[in-house]
Amino acid sequence: MTKTDADTPLHLQPYGPGPRAAEKIFETARDLFYREGIRAVGVDEIVSKAGVTKPSLYRSFKSKDDLVAAVLREVEEGFWDRFRSAEDAFPGDPRAQMIAYFEGLAARSVGDDYRGCALSNAAVEYPDRQHVGRMVSQAHKEQLRERLRAKAVEMGASDPKVLGDVLLLLIEGVFTSSQMFDGDDKPAMASVGAVKALIAAYCP
């Protein structure tokens, strides 16, 4: 069962084949952090579930926080991939782009394993502005805010800053609320209609 090195996106393969343990650690940590929370998961649990040992973790990551930062940065990439995917589906139509994003978001939010946005959750777990997990999350949210405001400009909103912030409120609302209700009947389903109504209200 020797896996090759180029079939999955790896984050650090310095020379030649690159480490296989680092990849398993990274993916295991990403899943555990999302499912159980970052603070709730210890390094021992990570290496145990990854089938590796602790020194392997600290050979690839300087500290647990360093691993946390790496995971959150990949989460951020995944977010922008989905966001751009909605954009690419409707070129030149920012309104349809946002509706498409909310439709995808609402679809993803149903399902018992959904736990909202890992970046928002990390910001909740790390209130300290100096913590790297907090910094990555906060920087991402500021980028998102600007991007949504730019979208509102494209839509010709009368007050694009406000409409952008409203969209952000709605997105974060879906993130947080979706992990607090079981089953398929989640408030997130109402977000698609809400974004349509809001865009209509803010774009004359």
Partner DNA sequence: CAAGATCCGTACCGATCGGTTACATTTTCC
Partner DNA sequence: GGAAAATGTAACCGATCGGTACGGATCTTG
Binding site for a second copy (CB under 8 A): 35-37, 39-40, 115-116, 120-121, 123-129, 137-138, 141-142, 145, 162-163, 165-166, 168-177, 179-182, 187-191, 193-194, 197-198, 200-202
What long-range pairs does 23-27 form, CB within 8 A, spacing at least 24?
24/50, 24/51, 24/52, 25/50, 25/52, 25/56, 25/57, 25/60, 25/61, 25/67, 26/60, 26/67, 26/70, 26/71, 26/74
Q: In the bound complex, what is the minimum distance in angstroms from residue 75's beta carbon to DNA? A: 18
Partner that binds at residue 128, options DNA, a second copy, none, CB closer than 5 to 8 Å by kind? a second copy
Q: In the bound complex, what is the minimum distance in angstroms from residue 125's beta carbon to DNA? A: 12
Q: In the bound complex, what is the minimum distance in angstroms from residue 100's beta carbon to DNA? A: 38
Element (H, E) at 156: none
Torsion of CA 89, 94, 100, 102, to 10 degrees: 150
Query: Quick one: 20 or 145, whose CB is closer to DNA?
Result: 20
- Report the residue from 54, 82, 108, 161 that binds DNA according to the rule CB under 7 A: 54
Q: In the bound complex, what is the minimum distance in angstroms from residue 37's beta carbon to a second copy? A: 6
Output the CA torsion sign for 8, 140, 167, 186. Answer: positive
Query: Quick one: 116 or 133, whose CB is closer to DNA?
Result: 133
Partner that binds at residue 104, options a second copy, DNA, none, CB closer than 5 to 8 Å by kind? none
Query: Quick one: 64 or 115, whose CB is closer to DNA?
Result: 64
Inter-CA distances, 87 with 92, 97, 152, Å? 8, 5, 13
Binding residues for DNA restricted to 5-44, rule: CB under 7 A: 14-22, 41-44
Query: Quick one: 8 or 15, whose CB is closer to DNA?
Result: 15
Q: Does 65 bind DNA (CB under 7 A)?
A: yes
Question: What phi, psi does 20 have (nearest 5°)?
Answer: -90, -30
CB 48: neighbour CB atoms within 10 A?
A: 13
Is residue 24 a contact partner of residue 51, using CB atoms and an 8 Å limit? yes
- Report the residue from 49, 56, 115, 147 that binds DNA according to the rule CB under 7 A: 56
Is residue 85 a contact partner of residue 108, using CB atoms and an 8 Å limit? no
Contacts to DNA by CB under 7 A? 2, 14-22, 41-45, 51-60, 63-65
